[in-house]
A and B are shown apart, each in its own frame.
Chain A
Amino acid sequence: MTGENCNVLIVDDSALIRQVVKRTLSMAHVPVGQWFEAADGQAALDVLRTNKVDLVLADLHMPTMGGIEMAQHIMADPAMRQIPVIVVSADPNTERLDGLKRQGVRACLRKPFTPEDLRNVVREVLGGPDHE
């Protein structure tokens, strides 16, 4: 991803969390081309089917369709399974989070998180210490 702009999809039913994630990635100088937002997993899949997305940051517990089901759809679809998914969740169940990683989710970040925690996870997934 180095040297290219990255299209980011933020999936969370809290508009505040979506704003915090967006602002943190901007502060970390992640070179974002387009921002997409969705309030649940179904809306996220609709965005993914009609747009080029390079990174998904998703909550687990959302109405209509949660993050686990959404991640399963992404991993099962050959057109989408290469898109890195980062789960950002308050879920205390580490076994569930480990299970998601085994299924192909790239990283899990526990809420509450600091902006630096989020930056570090995104850096790790996109590769490279600095995206300036």
Chain B
Amino acid sequence: MKSKSQHLERKRRIIVGMSDARVSDCATELLVTYSLGSCIGVALYDPLVRLAGLLHYQLPSSVQDPARALERPLMYADTGMEQLLGQMEKHGAQRRRMKVILAGAARMLNDTQLFNIGSRNHAAIRKFLWQHNMLIEAEEVGGSVPRTMYVRVLDGTVFLKTKTGVRQL
């Protein structure tokens, strides 16, 4: 019986940086994003075409800085999600079939009550999903710990790694 972390080690990793998104339909790959603090990782999976996508966005809304959003759309929840959904649909995925899993939105030490980026990021993605008729399958948000998020392309299973270990979401 393999442990969860052993199973993750056997896959080829596609790294998703900050303000970045990747999609994959290669069953031997794993989409990974590190250092999710107040940022949010959004994993999408269409089980019919077996396509996985992962977005790591930093801020809630492109309205805050439209010029920067044009330059770096994956930095924001709204423009980032539009881009990720567009990429996935281009590869044959349909949003009505997609499973949505979220992680992140922590309150980190450098995030004051005034800005509270984590909870604003969470509210922004919930609003986006509601407007686009999508529900969340599972999520782990809040707290004050950084998270690493893994998406197994084979079946869309999401694992989270924190200082306490690896668990399936």
- For residue A26, which residues in chain B have a CB less than 8 angstroms away from its CB? 133
Q: Which size class do A's interface residues fall under?
A: 10 to 19
Is A18's CB within 8 Å of the partner chain B? no
Bound together, the chains give a CA A26 to CA B130 distance in angstroms of 12
Bound together, the chains give a CA A82 to CA B126 distance in angstroms of 35
Q: Which size class do B's interface residues fall under?
A: under 10
Is B49's CB within 8 Å of the partner chain A? no
Is B135's CB within 8 Å of the partner chain A? yes
Task: Return B44 CB to nearest CB of chain A, in Å.
Answer: 15
**Segment 73-132 of A: residues with Cβ below 8 Å from B:** 114-116, 119, 132
Is B14's CB within 8 Å of the partner chain A? no
Task: Return B168 CB to nearest CB of chain A, in Å.
Answer: 16
Is B136's CB within 8 Å of the partner chain A? yes
Task: Return A21 CB to nearest CB of chain B, in Å.
Answer: 13
Task: Return B132 CB to nearest CB of chain A, in Å.
Answer: 9
Is B134's CB within 8 Å of the partner chain A? yes
Is A32's CB within 8 Å of the partner chain B? no
- B96 and chain A: residue at smallest CB distance: A29
Contact with A along B131-165 (1 / 0, CB 8 A): 00111100000000000000000000000000000
Task: Return B153 CB to nearest CB of chain A, in Å.
Answer: 20
Q: Helix, strand, loop or mixed for chain A's interface?
A: helix
- For residue B96, which residues in chain A have a CB less than 8 angstroms away from its CB? 29
**Segment 65-100 of B: residues with Cβ below 8 Å from A:** 96-97
- For residue B133, which residues in chain A have a CB less than 8 angstroms away from its CB? 23, 26-27
Bound together, the chains give a CA A119 to CA B96 distance in angstroms of 15
- A120 and chain B: residue at smallest CB distance: B135
- For residue A132, which residues in chain B have a CB less than 8 angstroms away from its CB? 97
- A26 and chain B: residue at smallest CB distance: B133
Bound together, the chains give a CA A132 to CA B134 distance in angstroms of 14
Bound together, the chains give a CA A116 to CA B141 distance in angstroms of 15
Bound together, the chains give a CA A24 to CA B134 distance in angstroms of 9
Bound together, the chains give a CA A114 to CA B126 distance in angstroms of 10
Bound together, the chains give a CA A119 to CA B134 distance in angstroms of 12
Is B136 touching A116 in the complex (CB atoms < 8 A)? yes
- For residue A119, which residues in chain B have a CB less than 8 angstroms away from its CB? 135
Task: Return B46 CB to nearest CB of chain A, in Å.
Answer: 12
Bound together, the chains give a CA A96 to CA B134 distance in angstroms of 33
- For residue A29, which residues in chain B have a CB less than 8 angstroms away from its CB? 96
Give 15 pairs: A residue, B residue, CB < 8 Å, sorted on A.
A23-B133, A24-B135, A26-B133, A27-B133, A27-B134, A27-B135, A28-B135, A29-B96, A114-B126, A115-B130, A115-B135, A116-B135, A116-B136, A119-B135, A132-B97
B residues sitting closer than 8 Å to A (CB atoms) are 96-97, 126, 130, 133-136
The 7 closest A-B pairs by CB, nearest first: A27-B133, A27-B135, A116-B136, A116-B135, A115-B135, A119-B135, A28-B135
Beyond A23-B133, A116-B135, A116-B136, list 11 extra A-B contacts (CB 8 Å).
A24-B135, A26-B133, A27-B133, A27-B134, A27-B135, A28-B135, A29-B96, A114-B126, A115-B130, A115-B135, A132-B97
